[in-house]
A and B are shown apart, each in its own frame.
Chain A
């Protein structure tokens, strides 16, 4: 069913998808993200994985029904797709770091305002 390129696409991306899924579950278990966010992220990664598994059958079906004249996926296309998924992982990670920093900043700001007011009332 699978030619080697399509199988390679799935095999190369499985580690990235696993990192994404495990990362989401870890963040939920360590209370960094909510359950809803965890479910959203895991669903997203699973959908990407499922899409990769069905790339060849969908392409073959489109060709059969004359819905596309695109050439089959090349090695370059495969590397590009892998790069995009990897960038998605980096973006997700960066977004989570930003959110964490945002929360810390908000807490710092609040505590500073309260501490300054307390100090001013004592003076």
Chain B
């Protein structure tokens, strides 16, 4: 019986879901994002306590202080290292929490994700016994909510990920993801510190033949949300990172 199955079977044991939020210059939204995450999540009669971990990545604003006011455990990078590095720190922290952690979910700090979708990811993981569940923003239901350039950019990156790595996922750049805790050792070994980690972690998962699923999720963009994320040169950077790891390993 796998570690996860043991947790699911023994429902009287405390099961935890760690929510990792990498945060950079997110002082305006971080408190509301953390507060939107429920303390207990119940899916299919299985209850999970949530522990929120904010990884503050050397922000220039008051993200750290705002995060400290919430219930989250706050990890702080002394220098800005990138979304990939911040996420990896959060995943490594989750690994140290031991067997009580059943799943780890990453969520963006800019407020584009809906905390209700956490249930959806968990439900999919439990139903399908998936090791990785990706929240897919690129489904038709989100067409109105997502700016056109973001849709095109994400679809383009997804196509490139498929060509370079054979990854058959519709939204490779989604920040809302679930990982089974017993597979963290595989996922957290990615090397890209910036946004390319989204694709690299999926590549590691598919090379290790992990079970990957996708579920449609909601997304909402505000002016604040749109000011975060990648600019055009960031995309070029990302492509170069992906080309490098594909060619050289």
* A interface list, Cβ under 8 A from B: 33-37, 40, 103, 106, 109-114, 116-117, 120-121
Contacts and interface: CB of A to CB of B under 8 A. Distances in A.
B55 interface: yes
Contact of B55 (A33, A113, A120): A113
Contacts of B247: 40
B248 A114 contact: no
Chain A contact residues, majority secondary structure: helix
B213 interface: no
Contacts of B238: none
16 contacts: A34-B249, A36-B249, A40-B247, A40-B249, A109-B78, A110-B85, A110-B88, A110-B89, A112-B78, A113-B76, A113-B77, A113-B78, A114-B75, A114-B92, A114-B93, A117-B73
A3 B107 CA distance: 66
B249 A109 contact: no
Contacts of A37: 248-249
B249 A35 contact: yes
Interface of B: 55, 73-79, 81, 85, 88-89, 92-93, 96, 191, 193, 247-249
A112 B75 CA distance: 9
A35 B207 CA distance: 13
Nearest to B84: A106
